[in-house]
Chain A
């Protein structure tokens, strides 16, 4: 690749690396797999840069990241069901671990915030992938319904209904968490 093409790639694609990682992290649900997925995605983007027809660079990159992650997840699932179980266990552990430290009045604000952050993250990670992706693209990537539809490859109406269901489930999950928490305390 020429230096010119390379600098175009630097200019148009690499600024979205943070967004790419964020999305990959929500798909893969652990840092190592997200890291791998981003590297693979960037390589694909680099190789496919000739076919990039201009337009929104972020949406183009995110669509590549999404496809890469889905392929990886599919392969993982095919390889072994144990892996999936392991993921679930990991998620459960992550959610259980912080509550082993009882929040006390003396604990500082930052710690409580961290607790809150973890429980929201765990609840999002527990969403089925088709709900999780639209929620993440909307809330963390600030994509419009139209842009989400382009990345995910579904009609706008589907984006809307999935987003509504994602939020319903998330709300239910967070309420359940709060319930479990207070149950434990009493």
Chain B
């Protein structure tokens, strides 16, 4: 390990106290501090100042400010200007998703949003319920050749199954779930600590499916249609990565 002199340690003392240094530099500084009372004193002084500031604390939120902000926002929502803004931004958002998924997908009217909301809610519930049960998969396999035939005996359609391990989204397994009013194929993928559920089902009753993205209670969803199937992905993964996942699934199902 390289030894540091007082000047080097002095420069790094603040990031050291702030926990901003990598392990090797932290060790080098600790080593120096053990044998240098000047630098150890400087650190103690810095720590004393920091705890003095922290003890003084910041200014608390005035008790009625939250109420006043809410009232102001509520009044805001009713104006025409903001509803125009909302339509424009939703349009922009759905364009962005459509572009992200390849641009050629059909997307429905924005007024579908509210009806879709109910379905999305059910899908999130299914995703959460399955994870909480500790048994999100009825078949645990990363092999599409195992998962595909597993589905075939249980549901009257055969969803495309793709392993995305190479892209950083390993397939973990699958289950059959019931999301009112349909039986759906649910595939579970991983991304770091996150789980993604991909729901696939045939499009029923002339249901218009719009490409859309939403987040609710900390869960993001992306929905699109492709041929005869409707796809919904649900996860607590961030929106960008989830969209990337959706794009991989979409591109894969075309082949």
Chain A residues proximal to chain B, CB less than 8 Å: 1-2, 4-9, 11, 14, 17-18, 21-22, 25-26, 31, 34-35, 38-39, 42-43, 46-47, 50-51, 53-55, 116-117, 120-121, 124, 135-136, 138-140, 144-145, 160, 163-164, 167, 170-171, 174
Contact = CB atoms under 8 A, between A and B. Distances in A.
Contacts of B217: 11
B56 interface: yes
Contacts of A121: 56
B89 interface: yes
Given A39-B68, A121-B56, A170 B49 contact: yes
Contacts of B49: 167, 170-171, 174
Given A8-B216, A164-B14, A1 B65 contact: no
B20 to A, nearest CB: 5
A17 B53 contact: no
B85 A145 contact: no
Given A39-B65, A50-B86, A163-B14, 14 more contacts: A1-B83, A2-B114, A4-B117, A6-B73, A6-B77, A17-B66, A22-B58, A25-B58, A39-B68, A43-B72, A47-B76, A50-B85, A50-B92, A135-B53
A43 B65 contact: no
Contacts of A31: 59, 62
Contacts of A135: 53
B146 interface: no
A117 B56 contact: yes
Interface of B: 14-15, 18, 20, 45-46, 49-50, 52-62, 65-66, 68-70, 72-73, 76-77, 82-83, 85-86, 89-90, 92-93, 113-114, 117, 214-218, 220, 238-240
A145 B57 CA distance: 20
Contacts of A51: 89
Nearest to B74: A6
Contacts of A6: 73, 77
A96 B6 CA distance: 39
Nearest to A164: B14
A54 B61 contact: no
Among B56, B68, B114, B216, residue most surrounded by chain A Cβ atoms (within 10 Å): B56
Contacts of B65: 17, 21, 35, 38-39
Contacts, number: 123
Contact of B56 (A14, A42, A120, A164): A120
Nearest to B13: A164
24 contacts: A2-B114, A6-B73, A17-B66, A21-B61, A25-B58, A25-B59, A26-B59, A31-B62, A39-B69, A42-B73, A46-B73, A46-B76, A47-B82, A50-B85, A50-B86, A50-B93, A51-B89, A55-B238, A116-B56, A136-B58, A140-B54, A145-B15, A163-B18, A170-B49
Nearest to B53: A139
A97 to B, nearest CB: 17
B141 to A, nearest CB: 31
Contact of A38 (B69, B117, B218): B69
A136 B114 CA distance: 42
B19 to A, nearest CB: 8
B57 A140 contact: yes
A54 B46 CA distance: 36
B122 to A, nearest CB: 15
Given A34-B59, A145-B15, A170-B49, A54 B77 contact: no
A54 B215 contact: yes
A120 B66 CA distance: 27
Contacts of A11: 217-218
A22 B59 contact: yes
Q: Sorted from nearest, which 9 A-B pairs have the closest CB atoms?
A: A50-B89, A120-B56, A140-B58, A25-B59, A54-B239, A22-B58, A18-B61, A117-B56, A1-B77
Nearest to B77: A1
